[in-house]
Amino acid sequence: MEATVAGIRGFVRRQIKGERVWRIGVSVTPQSARVTLLTPDKPYRFLEERDKDRPPIVEELERKLESAIGRDVVVGVVQSPMAIARHIRISPRKVRHVVDAIRGKHVQDALAILQFVPNAAAKTVTKLLKSAIANAENNHRMDSESLEVIHVHVDEGTTLKRVSPRAMGRAYRIVKRTSHITVGLGEAEKPARVGRGGRGIARTVGKAPRRGARAEGARPQRPAREATAARAAEAPGAEETKASGEQQEERGGGE
């Protein structure tokens, strides 16, 4: 295996498949390499022995990496600051349209984008993002200027079932869906770029299409009467038809 950032990151992902790891940070030098795992779980899960015959995840990963790249490897585990909002009275399908716009963005860029998103879920996601920033500053001693959204996902929560009375004693089912939103932060690899210019990105956040609706193309517009008359005048034979009409009028006037 090549001792590159992409190669080491792919190797680590294959080895820790099934574990909750949001980001894998890799730094490589000619003599050594360092791998940082950002996870929402407690770090001791990766440092304790899993079974009697299986060493901790960190020790096993260090041993495999050293034999694969031939360098000294240090693996660290960091708990990522996060915030969770549960039982939000908005369907997950609508919330995902909003969170997709801020995934991987700097926190300042994400707040600027959410400021101009017209969807109703933008207000809830903004509060949740600010809560995650406060957790990072107070609980993890991290600088808010160097944070980015490394993970965000929306799960389906409890579904409330209601009925609507209809004719002849029938009842139609009304389904009110809820969402669980999770936002995770980490150290930013790039500085903020959008700033207050998030309006253009926010315009790309569309509303969820109606269920079962087919994609419709642009409807063809009917040509204006002036354009139709101009094309008819330019058509071949139009002058001959006009001249013959004038001759008939002259003959009729002479009689």
Give the chain's end-to-end CA distance (angstroms, integer). Answer: 103
3-state secondary structure of 221: coil
Asked whether 39 and 75 are in contact (CB, 8 A), the reply is no
Name the helix (H) or strand (E) containing 128: helix 121-139
Express each pLDDT in 179-215 by its tens digit.
Answer: 999 999 998 877 767 655 556 566 566 555 555 655 5
Closest C-alpha among 20, 18, 23, 19 to residue 9: 23
pLDDT of residue 101: 94
pTM confidence score:
0.72
pLDDT of residue 251: 58
How sure is the predictor about 255, in pLDDT bands with cuts at 50, 70 and 90? Answer: very low
pLDDT of 241 higher than 50? yes
pLDDT of residue 158: 96
Structural class in CATH, domain 5-79 = alpha beta
Express each pLDDT in 125-153 by its tens digit.
Answer: 999 999 999 999 999 999 988 999 999 99
Express each pLDDT in 80-127 by its tens digit.
Answer: 999 999 999 999 999 999 999 999 999 999 999 999 999 999 999 999
Q: Tell me which of 3.30.70.1560, 2.120.10.70, 3.30.70.980, 3.90.470.10 is the CATH number of domain 82-202.
A: 3.90.470.10
3-state secondary structure of 242: helix
pLDDT of residue 128: 96
What does the alpha-carbon distance between residue 117 and residue 206 come to, in Å, rounded to a whole number? Answer: 9
Mean pLDDT of the chain: 83
Biggest distance spanned by C-alpha atoms of the chain:
120
pLDDT of residue 48: 84
What does the alpha-carbon distance between residue 79 and residue 244 come to, in Å, rounded to a whole number? Answer: 90
What does the alpha-carbon distance between residue 241 and residue 252 come to, in Å, rounded to a whole number? Answer: 17
pLDDT of residue 2: 77
Is the pLDDT higher at 225 or at 124? 124
Asked whether 76 and 59 are in contact (CB, 8 A), the reply is no
pLDDT of residue 110: 94
Name the helix (H) or strand (E) containing 187: strand 179-187
What does the alpha-carbon distance between residue 246 and residue 255 come to, in Å, rounded to a whole number? Answer: 15
Express each pLDDT in 17-39 by its tens digit.
Answer: 888 899 998 988 888 899 999 99
Q: Where are the domains of the chain?
A: 5-79, 82-202
Is the pLDDT higher at 118 or at 234? 118
pLDDT of residue 43: 87
pLDDT of residue 54: 80
**∠ Cα 194 195 196 (to 5°):** 110
What does the alpha-carbon distance between residue 123 and residue 134 come to, in Å, rounded to a whole number? Answer: 17
Distances (CA, A) of 128 to 56, 92, 111, 207, 214: 34, 15, 11, 21, 34
